[in-house]
Amino acid sequence: MNATSLPDAFQRDPHATPGPDSVWFVFDGHCLILTAQQDLPTGPAAPLPVTDMSGLGSLDGQSMFTAALDGDLPGGYVSVPVRSAFGTLGDTLMGVAGYASQILDFHRTHRYCGRCATPMQDSAHERSRVCPNCGLTAYPRVAPVAMVLITRGHGPDTELLLARGPNFPPGMYSAVAGFVEPSETLEAAAHREISEELGVTITDLRYAFSQPWPFPHSLMIGFMARYRAGEITPQPGEIEDARFFPVTDLPTLPPRFSIARALIDQAAQDALKP
Ligand SMILES: [Zn+2]
């Protein structure tokens, strides 16, 4: 597991029932609500006014629920941006928080049937919403994103091709990523993104690892590749700057819980191992 995936021991159950020590992932827009002590609220019922409640499942015997805050935040609670809760909650609960935000988002965006506009209902036997009129079934959406870290050279002379988008924090560079299109393989998406965004070609594309990215519902699929040919030509509007960096002199990188950073750290470790 990693900081944005469900813990292996988590038991998914849309029909979980609340108990005295149930844990509540209550969201206020993109913020997660914590107690003044920076803990998740607990109790047999939501301890604050909520709507759109859903069962998530259980972890170590504790049932867990998600819901949206209904109204103003009562005293005794704080509202924190989900990403900034990484340091506070720890990887296990952050993994559940990412799942909770996606399930809540699924319910809030599937109130009505997309085909006939009838109010949807929860399925009795799986995580889906079903239209009682026309039978359309909707599942939580997962959008695959191919990310590629390109390397050139060998050993301590290895260079990494990193790019920065216009909205990145100053000085930060990362690997290039893009959404997979319908009817496209992951490999084709990786080659296409690199061609479109950087104007270069790659070879020796290899799957490395994946990471759910619940902001709002992506699955990042990480690849390594070798630079083959072409002049770096950043795609206007998408890429502000892209260049090769010596693995021994890298710029500001994405945070440690991101798959981009994991790919870069892995490549650096491989290049510099004795
Ligand atoms: Zn329908």
Tell me the per-residue pLDDT of 77-104, one tens digit each, with 9 for 90 and over: 999 988 778 778 888 998 999 999 999 9
pTM of the model: 0.86
- For 101, the enclosing helix (H) or strand (E) is helix 91-108
Domain boundaries, the chain: 11-109, 143-272
Q: Tell how far the Cα of 131 is from the centroid of ligand 1, in angstroms.
A: 5
Any idea which architecture 11-109 has in CATH?
Alpha-Beta Complex (3.90)
**Cα separations in angstroms, 88 against 73, 82, 255, 257, 265:** 20, 10, 15, 13, 24
* pLDDT score of 214: 85
User: pLDDT tens, 202-230?
Assistant: 999 999 999 998 878 899 999 999 999 99
CA distance 95 to 161: 30
Q: Tell how far the Cα of 156 is from the centroid of ligand 1, in angstroms.
A: 59
Q: Tell how far the Cα of 121 is from the centroid of ligand 1, in angstroms.
A: 11
Residues of the chain under the 50 pLDDT cut = none
Q: Tell how far the Cα of 243 is from the centroid of ligand 1, in angstroms.
A: 50
Please give the CATH topology (third level) of the domain spanning 143-272.
Answer: Nucleoside Triphosphate Pyrophosphohydrolase (3.90.79)
Q: Tell how far the Cα of 128 is from the centroid of ligand 1, in angstroms.
A: 14
* pLDDT score of 88: 82
> What is the sign, positive or negative, of the torsion defined by CA atoms of 71, 78, 57, 7?
positive
Domains 11-109 and 143-272 share a fold: yes
Q: Are the C-beta atoms of residues 129 and 107 closer than 8 Å to each other?
A: yes
CB-based burial of residue 171 (10 Å sphere; 0-12 exposed, 13-18 middle, 19+ buried)? exposed
What radius of gyration do the chain's Cα atoms show?
A: 21
Residues with CB under 5 A from ligand 1 (ion): 113, 115-116, 118, 131, 133-134, 136
* pLDDT score of 1: 53
